[in-house]
């Protein structure tokens, strides 16, 4: 037994990926509704318009969670269901609030602890059109704080709040590569607007300010009576030197994590950006005013960790191009000696390497003073899964192995390394809209038949997790 007795485990989802019902009960459009309508942006030309239809099937989803033995469920709220136009002076949609209030009540009644993510990439489209969304430092943080306050007030029963999911993705994929909504990039064949060298760093800065404002609001006006906790969820991969004998590759491993994770975590824990980023980006990286630094520093009651994969890291020589966001390095799946980091999956960026999970848990713990960690996402796709017959999809041994290896690696980090990990949410409860990859890629422990009324069929992996956690969580 190597996980603490109060350890929570369960599954994670995001509103736009599962809810559907995009026009129901007064919901306004998000930047993802708009992005999906642009031909060529989504691999299979799909959108989240129907997705898993979870908005209309909350009872079914809760019954599923209960049947799998989950003790926690992380889900996100659609901002544009709550405030369809997004802003602090815009009307609030009571039907949207009522939906989530009832959902939380029903989860608690089923004995499942809710983890609510306020923002999982689906910015109200009206804010993007009104003032440039994330790019506006004056308006965006205030509008996010207002939305956060509305939710804190509406759902006092929720004790675990996450402000933003993976701001790296909103910043880099939304404003550098243009791969995600709103699709800004310097590549004019892909977008008429965008500055890949500057916009992502502005967006990241403004997200940190919005996070800081929401945390301050919660701590001052809600936490004293509600007694909950609040943090942010950051994504990042484990790193290994391509050539362990080359000090430049060894150094580049830390730099890769700094450009991905510490970009947000360093300001939250130390009040400033990593020196490696300042050195490479110069004045393109915004600076914190003393007031901003004070707002952001210390604004985490826990560290939300999303983690999937690992890479070999090879440093690059010379001056990096202005739009480089990695830290002047290459990410590879093979080392200098030809060792492969892990097996192929359906996702071009993901190869299983469980030891990397333990190593990254340690890296983060050492750097940030052993904070309380919730693993808010971890999971895998399977190569060619969508093309298999149903019985083979349900027999997902590859995913069972992935979870087994990764959860054991986490348990070792907890028991042997002193890492303070208190929860784990598998990604994902069910197959869903996988952003730019559409519905071809499946991450779910539950198969969703998109051609037959979104019927759900739990896979072997869904049923494997309860026994796994039962074997690892201390009883007393």
Q: Beta-carbon neighbour count of residue 275 at 10 Å?
A: 11
pLDDT number for residue 106? 98
**Coil, helix or strand for 281?**
helix
Please tell me the total count of domains within the chain: 1
Does residue 3 sit within a domain? no
CA distances to 20, 75, 120, 235, 411 from 27, in Å: 11, 17, 16, 28, 41
Whole-number Å distance between alpha carbons of 9 and 403: 12
Could you list the residue range(s) of the whole structural domain that residue 58 is in? 8-472
DSSP assignment of 414-463: HHHH---EEEEEEE-SS----GGGTTSS---SEEEETTTTTEEEE-HHHH
Token pair recorded at residue 46: 């799909």
- 134: tokens are 């994330």
Whether pLDDT at 452 is above 90:
yes
Does 440 score more than 90 pLDDT? yes
Q: Is residue 162 part of a domain?
A: yes
Percent of the chain past pLDDT 90, that is, above it, reads 100
> Which CATH number goes with the domain that contains 281?
3.20.20.80
**DSSP type of residue 84:** T
Segment 431-448 mean pLDDT = 98
Flag whether 2 is in a domain.
no
Per-residue pLDDT tens for 143-172?
999 999 999 999 999 999 999 999 999 999
Distance CA 57, CA 270 (A): 43
Q: Give the confidence band of 476 by pLDDT, cuts at 50, 70, 90.
A: confident
By annotation, the residues acting in catalysis are 166, 377
Render pLDDT for 382-393 as a digit per residue (tens, 0 to 9). Answer: 999 999 999 999
Per-residue model confidence (pLDDT) at position 204: 99
- pLDDT of 24 reads 98
∠ Cα 385 386 391 (to 5°): 70
> Does residue 195 surpass a pLDDT of 80?
yes
Q: What is the pLDDT of residue 317?
A: 97
1 domain-assigned: no
In a domain, 132, yes or no: yes
Note whether residue 379 is domain-resident.
yes
* 44 belongs to a structural domain: yes
Q: Give me the pLDDT at residue 214, please.
A: 99
Q: CA-to-CA distance for 45 and 65, rounded, in angstroms?
A: 30
pLDDT, tens digit, for every residue of 39-95? Answer: 999 999 999 999 999 999 999 999 999 999 999 999 999 999 999 999 999 999 999
- pLDDT tens digits, one per residue of 345-372: 999 999 999 999 999 999 999 999 999 9
pLDDT tens for residues 282-323? 999 999 999 999 999 999 999 999 999 999 999 999 999 999
- Residues with Cβ within 8 Å of 200's Cβ and at least 6 positions away in sequence, in order, are 171, 172, 174, 175, 176, 325
pLDDT in tens, 366-411: 999 999 999 999 999 999 999 999 999 999 999 999 999 999 999 9
Instruction: Let me know if residue 222 belongs to a domain.
Output: yes
**Mean pLDDT value across the chain:** 98
How much of the chain exceeds pLDDT 70, in percent? 100
Label residue 1 by pLDDT band (50, 70, 90).
confident
């Amino acid at each position: 037994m190597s996980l603490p007795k109060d350890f929570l485990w369960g599954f994670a989802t995001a509103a736009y990926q599962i809810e559907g019902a995009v026009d129901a009960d007064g919901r306004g459009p998000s930047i993802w509704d708009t992005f999906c309508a642009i031909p060529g942006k989504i691999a299979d030309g799909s959108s989240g318009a129907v997705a898993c239809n979870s908005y209309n099937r909350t009872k079914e989803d809760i019954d599923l969670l209960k049947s799998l033995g989950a003790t926690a469920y992380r889900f996100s709220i659609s901002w544009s269901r709550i405030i369809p136009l997004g802003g602090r002076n815009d009307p609030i949609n009571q039907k949207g609030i009522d939906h989530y209030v009832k959902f939380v009540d029903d989860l608690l009644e089923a004995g499942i602890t809710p983890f609510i993510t306020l923002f999982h990439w689906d910015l109200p489209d009206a804010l993007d059109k009104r003032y440039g969304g994330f790019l506006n430092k004056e308006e965006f943080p205030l509008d996010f704080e207002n939305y956060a306050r509305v939710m804190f007030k509406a759902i006092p029963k929720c004790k675990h709040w996450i402000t933003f999911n993976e701001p790296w993705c909103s910043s880099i994929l939304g404003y550098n590569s243009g791969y995600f909504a709103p699709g800004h990039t310097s590549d004019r064949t892909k977008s008429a607007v965008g500055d890949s060298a500057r916009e992502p760093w502005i967006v990241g800065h403004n997200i940190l300010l919005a996070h800081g404002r929401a945390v301050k609001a919660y701590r001052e006006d809600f936490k004293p009576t509600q007694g909950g906790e609040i943090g942010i969820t950051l994504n990042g991969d484990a790193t290994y030197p391509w050539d362990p004998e080359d000090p430049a590759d060894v150094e580049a491993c830390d730099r890769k994590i700094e450009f991905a994770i510490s970009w947000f975590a360093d300001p939250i824990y130390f009040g400033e950006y990593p020196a490696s980023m300042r050195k490479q980006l110069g004045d393109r990286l915004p600076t914190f005013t003393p007031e901003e630094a004070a707002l952001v520093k210390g604004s985490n009651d826990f560290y939300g960790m999303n983690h999937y994969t690992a890479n070999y890291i090879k440093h690059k020589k010379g001056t990096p191009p202005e739009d480089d966001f990695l830290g002047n390095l290459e990410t590879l799946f093979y080392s200098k000696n030809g060792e492969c980091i892990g097996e192929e999956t359906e996702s071009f960026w993901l190869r299983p390497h469980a030891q990397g999970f333990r190593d990254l848990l340690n890296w983060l713990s050492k750097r940030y003073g052993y904070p309380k960690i919730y693993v808010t996402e971890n999971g895998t796709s399977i190569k060619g899964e969508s093309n298999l017959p149903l019985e083979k999809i349900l027999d997902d041994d590859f995913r069972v192995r992935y979870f087994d290896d990764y959860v054991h690696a986490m348990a070792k980090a907890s028991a042997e390394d002193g890492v303070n990990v208190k929860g784990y949410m598998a990604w994902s409860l069910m197959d869903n809209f996988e952003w730019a990859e559409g519905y071809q890629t499946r991450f779910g422990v539950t198969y969703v038949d998109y051609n037959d009324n979104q019927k759900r069929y739990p896979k072997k992996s869904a049923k494997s997790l309860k026994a796994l956690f039962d074997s690892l969580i201390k009883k007393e």
